[in-house]
Structure 1
Amino acid sequence: MTKLKIAIQKSGRLNEDSLRLLKNCGISIDNGKGQLKASARNFPVEVLYLRNGDIPQYLRDGVVDVAILGENTLVEKGEDLEIIERLGFSKCRVSLAIPKEVKFNSLKDFEGKRIATSYPNTVKKFFKENGITADLHVINGSVEIAPNIGLADAICDIVSSGSTLFKNGLKEVVKMAESEAVLTSGPDLSSEKQEILDTIQFRIQSVLRGQNSKYILLNAPNDKIDSILELLPGMRSPTVLPLAQKGWSSIHTVVEGKRKFWDIIDGLKKRGAEGILVVPIEKMVL
């Protein structure tokens, strides 16, 4: 049987989030502690646990077919590889940081400085675009200590909460790029493997759509329905059902997008909606 080989990071938050996504897609992975390869018991998939930085080359070589990895790694080592789905988790940014006591004026402050980083290609490209010349020191591992031991004047690294920078006496001064987990594919997939990937991608899209949406049920007087419907987006249109109480109806719809959700709820209240019920959606299949 043809199996699709998926690479994910061998440990850490990206590993956990990737496995959770596959599980939510109905793919059960049988893996034990320390295992570097595992098969799904209910789907033609094999998972390989690899170092994040090695995955782009494994994709090019055909060792694995697809991968879930950080976009920052793809920018650094796999710009030739296509992003086929943005996954919305493991979000971070690639930033420049300096010691807290050092005053920062502008990007020009990095001219001629020593920069410690695990992302030399990203830094070189960014500095070239901005006309900055600097001395890069490539470090594989924790770069935050470099300024404290006199190895560098600043660092470039991925930043999530910023707590690691703070603990090491550093401050973030320039955000170079934003990153999230992405699904990417190798250059040549057989038709059989592409069909498996299409199925997985369809399931992923359904899971992500559900995570970013809420199902809303509310009651409203009939003379307020038109005003309320103006606020309610839906997959096609909201559902309106008469209630037992004369002159009232129940309205059902799906609201997508976390940023505008509370604005919509506030607007519904102002326009006469009552008994608003918000229900999470596990998956949304279109």
Structure 2
Amino acid sequence: MGGMFYTGTRFPTSYSGNYLYTDFRGMLHRIRFAADGSMANEDVIMNYETGGGFVDVNEGPDGALYVLSYYGGINRITPVPGGQALIVSPSDLVIPEGGTQTVMVSLAMPPAVDVWVKVAVQGGDGDLSVVDGASLRFTIENWSVPQFVTLGAAQDADADVEHASFTFTPTQDFPVVTVHARTEEDEVPEEPATDGGIAGDAGSEFDAGTLEDAGTLEDAGTVEDAGTLDDAGTVEDAGTQVDAGAVVDAGSSKDGGTVPVHLEDESGGCSAGATALPGVLAWWLLAGLEWRPRRARRS
């Protein structure tokens, strides 16, 4: 049938981590484990074998065990007190930022005199606090009735998880109980925007970025010093039009171009070839005119 691992504080510490389970005959079993995780021992801690019909067991908010019967009954089980003690549950909790959590407190046995319990916080940098129930009173009439302490976490602007301890101190001479709490933050930690970011020293726009020192526009970019337009670009010093380009010094029209050097002038390679052609034709026509008369005289 149903079972659970015990994590409460009402039973002795030897119960911590034990596995408790029911069987339909009406028994509640306890399994203890060895250091290697194997089963060390099994005990029957409750026996209603005559028609118990147990189907499940669970821990209540007061630390007691509640056993459910198939026939409709619920059995509440607490240990025989060896001495007076505070029963505090839970002993470890997470409080959402801006929210609260509740802790239940009761006594293990009837007190001889009234018992006051003071609740105080240690640590947490002020983010964790006691919202309500900082002082509780238990009497012979209400010692077993759980009283409530509300713990809260303040809303802040950072994303740091805060930790604090809440001490439950009785006025009588029995042990103090400590509850550990931490905040659940709702902020997302900020990522650096400079010195390794996308907009600073090693970012995409500045010192090692794509726009400036090692970017696409300036020092090692595509436009200026090592870009496609200036020093090593496609337009000027090592580009396609100027120093090593396709038009000027190493281009297709001037010093290193595709047109023969002897046909180049300052107006460009192609225009130089066009202006030389009329002069050659004129010389050829004049030579023809002079040659014909001489031939005619010989005949």
TM range (shorter): under 0.3
Rg larger in structure: 2
Q: Which has the higher contact order (CA 8 A, sep 6+)?
A: 1
TM-score between both structures, scaled by the size of structure 2: 0.22
TM-score between both structures, scaled by the size of structure 1: 0.23
Larger helix percent: 1
